[in-house]
Amino acid sequence: MLEKLFKQHGIDSADKLDHQRLLSLVNSMADGVIAVDHNMTIVLSNGSALNILDVNSSLKGRQLAEVVRPFDKNGNPVDIESLVAGTRTQTTNRDLLLHYDDNSAANLYLSIAPVHLGFGRKGQRGFVLLLRDITHEKSLEEERDEFISVISHELRTPIAIAEGNVSNALFVANKTPDGQIDAIKQALHQAHEQITFLADMVNDLSMLSRAERGNLTIEIEEIDIKTLVDELQETYSRQAKEKGLGFEAEAPDDIGKLNSSRLYVREILQNFITNSIKYTDKGSVRLAIAREAAGVRFTVADTGIGISKSDQEKLFSKFFRSEDWRTRKTGGTGLGLYVSKKLARLLHAEISVKSELGKGSTFSVLVPDAQIFKK
Ligand code: ADP
């Protein structure tokens, strides 16, 4: 009986089996599939297509333009039927957007292929569309591009200054062996400063890429807090002094030890301190340490430019830098606090900020003893 019906339509049972196989294949695909005939009427679609288009009834028999309504990147509607009808060989497009009823949008990957539709001798010409939601990939691409542009921009100035100063120093050294030692010192000093900036930035970047790839391992050790504070004092009082700022670090004599990652605690504090020095023009930076029930609190307070309430909400976002000109006149990547937050999470530590525009900022991190969070 079935045989007879297939025969009447020019379909033999082998064709029928192929058809069923193809249908289950199409239905199992993660990409949305829509096939249209030459009139742009949908003849076949799969579940993924319904998902991407956010519709819940079958698409079969509906006009393509009714269900697929893409927009270009300038927000103009795209005539999907002309786009499809004009396709001679398989083409792909990654720049279209779909808008949903809840005002959200998705980046759409759309591939269009002219095909011979249907089975057996009654087949006709039509098109197969593949649809994929590439919003996530697109945002990663954008982030990567933004990242590269920030980095290349930020690296240009220190490299040029360091290069200029070193070649100046060499020039002066070669020409006049005596009497010019101050000029050489000055040039080398500036080169050193810029190289330190580069080293800090590369440090942020390597931490960032490890954090993003989930590659940060944590090594808990016993930290002697006094020693850590002394080291920080030694490094940063010099930097602060060069800017005419005071730097004080104080820890109670009986502050004792803390089990945590020395590397990450230090990294967080370094970020706080370098920021405080960077964003303070007069006054001082102060590092204070206190033991609390939940762990050890490290506080870095400055008398600098301060942070507005609205900026405070964005401080820990990737690449965030205040629009304030006083921030913009210094170099930076907007990664230090983002990385600090990631490291703090690994340590089960909590970062908090208090700041008043024009008065100063206080960043603190409460680091629990690793014995506590291991339990
Ligand atoms: P960067 O300092 O490289 O720009 P961060 O992530 O360390 O990046 O800091 C993000 C932003 O937060 C800075 O650009 C600045 O606007 C603001 N900020 C951070 N610390 C301070 C501070 N102590 N005083 C004023 N602004 C600060």
Distance from residue 321's CA to the centre of ligand 1 (Å): 6
Atom number of ligand 1 nearest to Cα 321: 14
- CA–chain centroid gap for 301, Å, is 28
Cβ-based neighbour number of residue 177 at 10 Å = 9
Residue 5 CB neighbour total at 10 angstroms: 10
Distinct helix (H) and strand (E) counts, the chain: 13, 13
At residue 120, the pLDDT reads: 46
Residues near 367 by beta carbon (within 8 Å), at least 6 away in sequence: 258, 260, 265, 295, 296, 297, 298, 347, 349
For the entire predicted model, the pTM comes to: 0.66
> What is the helix, strand, coil percentage profile of the chain, to 5?
45, 25, 30
Q: Which of 364, 372, 346, 369 is nearest to 264 (CA)?
A: 346
Whose tokens are 């039509």? That residue is 126
Residue 9 pLDDT: 53
How high is the pLDDT of residue 375? Answer: 45
Q: Which atom of ligand 1 is nearest to the CA of 204?
A: 3
Q: How many CB atoms lie within 10 A of CB 1?
A: 5
Length of the chain: 375
Q: How far is CA 261 from the centre of its chain?
A: 25
Cα of 275 vs centre of ligand 1, distance in Å, is 6
How far, in Å, from the CA of 354 to the mean position of ligand 1?
13
Taking CA atoms only, the protein residue closest to ligand 1 atom 3 is 332
State both tokens at 51.
């998902």
CA distance 107 to 128: 19
> CB within 6 Å of ligand 1 — which residues?
271, 275-276, 279, 302, 304-305, 307, 315, 320-322, 327, 332-338, 361
Residue type, 68: V
Backbone dihedral angles phi then psi of residue 336, each to the nearest 5 degrees: -55, -50
The atom number, within ligand 1, closest to the CA of 337 reads: 6
Angle at 301 between CA 373 and CA 209, to 5 degrees: 55
Amino acid at 340: S
pLDDT for 257 equals: 95
pLDDT of residue 187: 84
Ligand 1, atom 23: closest residue by C-alpha = 276
Per-residue pLDDT of the chain (375 residues; tens, 9 = 90+): 445 545 555 556 667 788 788 888 888 999 999 999 999 999 999 999 999 999 988 899 999 999 999 999 889 999 999 999 999 999 999 999 999 989 899 999 999 999 986 654 566 789 999 999 999 998 888 888 888 877 877 788 888 888 888 888 888 888 876 766 888 888 888 888 888 888 888 888 888 888 777 777 888 999 999 999 999 999 899 889 989 999 999 999 999 999 999 999 999 999 999 999 999 999 999 999 999 999 999 999 999 999 999 999 999 998 898 988 888 778 788 889 999 999 999 999 999 999 999 999 999 999 999 875 554
